[in-house]
Structure 1
Amino acid sequence: MDTSQRAESPAQTHPFVQKLRMHREFFHRTLECFRDEDASFRVAPETMTAAGQVLHAAAAIEFFLSGVFGVFEGWSAMSQRQRGFVDMSWTQGTNTGIEERSTAPEVQEAGRSLKKAAELFDRSMDSASAMFGARTMEELVQVPLPPNPIFPPWFTASHVFEILIDHTAHHRGALAQYARGLGLEPKIPYFEMAEALHEAMLTTGQESGAGAPVAASK
């Protein structure tokens, strides 16, 4: 049987799962220009490394997941937090990378290898897809979160989801600046075109079929 003809499962067509898939693609497109040995690069002495940016984005996904759904099997300590957004101890040392605070072997490896860091990012995204995809949209948009000191009382899982996406995009943008600091040419995350070329086209008003937006894979 041709597997390409199989209908997608409900989880695969879930709006949140589709959005996570799209943003995972955006994140990886930004990472494409890096070399594995760029993992330890910093734009300034007190900033996170390039690998630290990836790991921070990934662990934050697990922080949001455990806050909404409770303890799960993730790679970071964030996955072991109880449901709710009450414990704020995670804010300590947020300007340093996780690889600098954790002794876990795979986290240490990820601090030296952007390839490994990207693998952990993908694991976090897989967890997000599984956990959000297992809930109906009604559950996600209608049921308020338990009382907590961070979010307003009307916040639901869907609001946390949007913050998760926004935070991931924020660190994707930071990585594009890291790439430029290394003299590399990052792609615009949304399609196959270098950022510099895209900016030049916008400045000059040029239009071209080359590098037209590519739809995220489904």
Structure 2
Amino acid sequence: MDTSQTAESPAQPHPFVRKLRMHREFFHRTLECFRDEDASSRVTPAAMTAAGQVLHAAAAIEFFLSGLFGVFEGWSPMSQRQPGFVDMSWTEGANIGLEERNTSPEVQEAGRSLKKAAELFDRSMDSASALFGARTMEELVQVPLPPTPIFPPWFTAAHVFEIMIDHTAHHRGALAQYARGLGLEPKIPYFDMAEARHEAMLMSGQESGAGTPVAAVK
């Protein structure tokens, strides 16, 4: 990997921007099976709603972005934080969806509409692409973060990026279970194929025949 690479260009997309594009597609593939009226569904009375899962994942992206880069033009209060990872108060009531704690009309709408919640997720991913894509790989992988109580002293922005992506994948997986609980058929995130069919093929020893994985997307 060329650590001297600068900001993204059409000819040579930034490696982190390519990865964000992949994970956006993975997330949307999981959401495809939901109906908009499924926004308020929960797996237990104490769990977040389906829309709440999407909003939580999106707001967490903005938490990581502001923690790394400072205030930016986002849709959630997380985007207005100063750099650093000292204030973790946003994790209080983690099982309560953002739409249940935020009076913003836009967030309230997203709590009732998975389509709107997905739009806010996309806005967070756009912000991530812009902020990471504007930095060189040298900045992201070599410069340690300022001291913080929650990350080791050797952590860089690249390590935080991986945690951000992993957190998004965690909630994508939760949404797949919500879908199954509703009797829907979520797709495996990486192929245009239902999870149940993919699992059946794996159990029978067949080749998946799923085609080109999304990981090849540029």
Please classify the TM superposition score into its range, dividing by the shorter chain length. Answer: over 0.9
Residues paired across the two proteins, number: 210
Where structure 2 has 5 or more consecutive residues not aligned to the other structure, the ranges are 1-7
Where structure 1 has 5 or more consecutive residues not aligned to the other structure, the ranges are 1-7
Tell me the distance in 2 between the aligned counterparts of 1:128 and 1:208: 33
1:52, CA displacement in angstroms?
A: 0.1
Whether contact under 8 Å (1:192, 1:213) holds in the other structure is no
Equivalent in the alignment of 2:64 = 64
CA, structure 1 residues 161+39, in 2 after alignment: closer, same or farther (shift >3 Å)? Answer: same
Equivalent in the alignment of 1:212 = 211
1:212, CA displacement in angstroms?
A: 2.0
Equivalent in the alignment of 1:36 = 36
1:11, CA displacement in angstroms?
A: 8.8
1:56, CA displacement in angstroms?
A: 0.2
Whether contact under 8 Å (1:51, 1:112) holds in the other structure is yes
Equivalent in the alignment of 1:78 = 78
Whether contact under 8 Å (1:187, 1:195) holds in the other structure is yes
- Kindly report which structure 2 residues correspond to 1:61-210, keeping only aligned pairs within 5 A, or say none: 61-207=61-207, 209=209
Whether contact under 8 Å (2:145, 2:155) holds in the other structure is yes
Task: Give the letter aligned to residue 88 of structure 1.
Answer: M
Tell me the distance in 2 between the aligned counterparts of 1:13 and 1:135: 12
Higher mean displacement: 160-169 or 200-209 = 200-209
- Kindly report which structure 2 residues correspond to 1:16-31, keeping only aligned pairs within 5 A, or say none: 16-31=16-31
Tell me the distance in 2 between the aligned counterparts of 1:10 and 1:147: 35
Tell me the distance in 1 between the aligned counterparts of 2:97 and 2:190: 27
CA, structure 1 residues 107+11, in 2 after alignment: closer, same or farther (shift >3 Å)? Answer: farther
Task: Give the share of equivalent positions with the same residue, in percent.
Answer: 86
CA, structure 1 residues 208+93, in 2 after alignment: closer, same or farther (shift >3 Å)? Answer: closer
Kindly report the root-mean-square deviation, in angstroms, between the aligned alpha carbons of the 2 structures: 1.3
Whether contact under 8 Å (1:71, 1:82) holds in the other structure is yes
1:12, CA displacement in angstroms?
A: 6.0
TM-score (norm 1): 0.93
Deviation string for 1:118-151 (max 9, x for gaps)?
A: 0000000000000000000000011111111100
CA, structure 1 residues 12+184, in 2 after alignment: closer, same or farther (shift >3 Å)? Answer: farther
Higher mean displacement: 175-184 or 199-208 = 199-208
Task: Give the letter aligned to residue 128 of structure 2.
Answer: A
Task: Give the letter aligned to residue 188 of structure 2.
Answer: I
CA, structure 1 residues 30+131, in 2 after alignment: closer, same or farther (shift >3 Å)? Answer: same
CA, structure 1 residues 123+11, in 2 after alignment: closer, same or farther (shift >3 Å)? Answer: farther
Task: Give the letter aligned to residue 48 of structure 1.
Answer: M
TM-score (norm 2): 0.93
CA, structure 1 residues 162+113, in 2 after alignment: closer, same or farther (shift >3 Å)? Answer: same
1:10, CA displacement in angstroms?
A: 5.7
1:94, CA displacement in angstroms?
A: 1.2
Whether contact under 8 Å (2:58, 2:120) holds in the other structure is yes
Tell me the distance in 1 between the aligned counterparts of 2:183 and 2:191: 21
SS in 2 for 1:178: helix
1:153, CA displacement in angstroms?
A: 0.6
CA, structure 1 residues 41+150, in 2 after alignment: closer, same or farther (shift >3 Å)? Answer: same
